[in-house]
């Protein structure tokens, strides 16, 4: 098999949570472009259908499953339904939200909602999928971490805590499931031009600061992330486990 063939995902099935927009949509598009059948997910049917139709119109193999990744019972039911249609080889835990406020003013309900979406969901969905991957002795799980898994800044303490948890849960999953043929890795995006960061991108002062802090001197573009996901999902990374791949223009390497 040639090196480039190890990146191909033909015959593989992938689930990407939170994939109706932003980073999740870009990763779903990349995995499908590499040959995978991708199951899209979102909590709301409208955006999910729009994403499905957009990728299907590109000739990509996609289906969709609308469920709330923060609801353990809904997750178990959804994974059972998806597996009835065919075994999952790849799981990308992408669903996440951002809420910004000084920690001393943070609303308890917002803390719970952010932790449920960014961290609890990774546990719920990964456990449900791993219970099916384990007997098959094969699978790749990719968790969306963040540069905030390593560093922080004012007003994003809960998000930082959640992404630090995702990083360590990634390493822990690799320890539990690595002996059974399942690899678990993370992708840590830097500052990307997404809806989640719209306010930051449109703030000239903040944008200039981020570009100055980033050795590559630019914001991340969604196209920068797909290849990293294909690599970690495919046999190209067959001996990579418990690793967080930072796609951040060098931000975490800079003072
Ligand atoms: C913020 C941003 C970050 C981004 C960044 C890291 O307010 O600082 O939302 O938390 O998520 O792209 O992944």
Does 80 fall in a domain?
Answer: yes
pLDDT at 1: 85
For residue 253, being part of any structural domain is answered with: no
Token pair belonging to 199: 């306010």
- With a 6 Å cutoff on the Cβ, whether 246 touches ligand 1 is no
Q: Determine, yes or no, domain membership for 233.
A: yes
Residue 254 belongs to some domain of the structure: no
Q: What is the pLDDT, as a whole number, of residue 168?
A: 99
- Please give the residue range of the domain that contains residue 62: 4-248
Residue whose Cα lies nearest atom 9 of ligand 1: it is 197
Q: Is 156 in the pocket of ligand 1 (CB under 6 A)?
A: yes
Is the residue at 19 inside a domain?
yes
Query: Which residue has its alpha carbon closest to ligand 1 atom 2?
Result: 197
pLDDT by 10s per residue, the chain, length 255: 899 999 999 999 999 999 999 999 999 999 999 999 999 999 999 999 999 999 999 999 999 999 999 999 999 999 999 999 999 999 999 999 999 999 999 999 999 999 999 999 999 999 999 999 999 999 999 999 999 999 999 999 999 999 999 999 999 999 999 999 999 999 999 999 998 899 999 999 999 999 999 999 999 999 999 999 999 999 999 999 999 999 999 999 999
Q: Per the domain annotation, does 33 fall within a domain?
A: yes
Our count of domains for the chain comes to 1
Note whether residue 255 is domain-resident.
no
Ligand 1 atom at minimum distance from 100 CA:
7
The 10s digit of each residue's pLDDT in 64-95 is: 999 999 999 999 999 999 999 999 999 999 99
| CATH number for position 31 | 3.40.50.720
Q: Does residue 109 form part of some domain?
A: yes
């Amino acid at each position: 098999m040639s090196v480039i063939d190890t990146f191909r995902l033909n015959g593989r099935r992938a689930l990407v949570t939170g994939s109706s927009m932003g980073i999740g949509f870009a990763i779903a598009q990349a995995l499908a472009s590499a040959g995978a059948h991708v199951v899209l997910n979102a909590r709301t049917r409208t955006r999910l259908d729009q994403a499905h139709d957009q990728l299907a119109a590109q000739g990509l193999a996609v289906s969709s499953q609308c469920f709330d990744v923060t609801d353990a019972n809904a997750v178990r039911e959804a994974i059972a339904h998806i597996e009835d249609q065919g075994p999952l080889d790849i799981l990308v835990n992408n669903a996440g939200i951002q809420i910004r406020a000084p920690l001393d003013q943070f609303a308890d309900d917002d803390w719970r909602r952010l932790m449920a979406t960014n961290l609890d969901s990774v546990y719920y969905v990964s456990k449900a999928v791993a219970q099916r991957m384990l007997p098959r002795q094969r699978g790749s799980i990719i968790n969306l971490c963040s540069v905030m898994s390593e560093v922080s800044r004012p007003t994003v303490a809960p998000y930082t805590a959640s992404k630090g948890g995702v990083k360590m849960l990634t390493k822990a999953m690799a320890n539990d499931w690595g002996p059974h043929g399942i690899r678990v890795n993370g992708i840590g995006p830097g500052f990307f031009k997404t809806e989640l960061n719209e306010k930051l991108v449109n703030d000239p002062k903040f944008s200039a600061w981020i570009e100055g802090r980033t050795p590559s001197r630019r914001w991340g573009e969604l196209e920068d992330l797909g290849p990293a996901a294909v690599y970690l999902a495919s046999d190209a990374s067959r001996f990579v486990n418990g690793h967080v791949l930072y796609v951040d223009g060098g931000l975490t390497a800079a003072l």
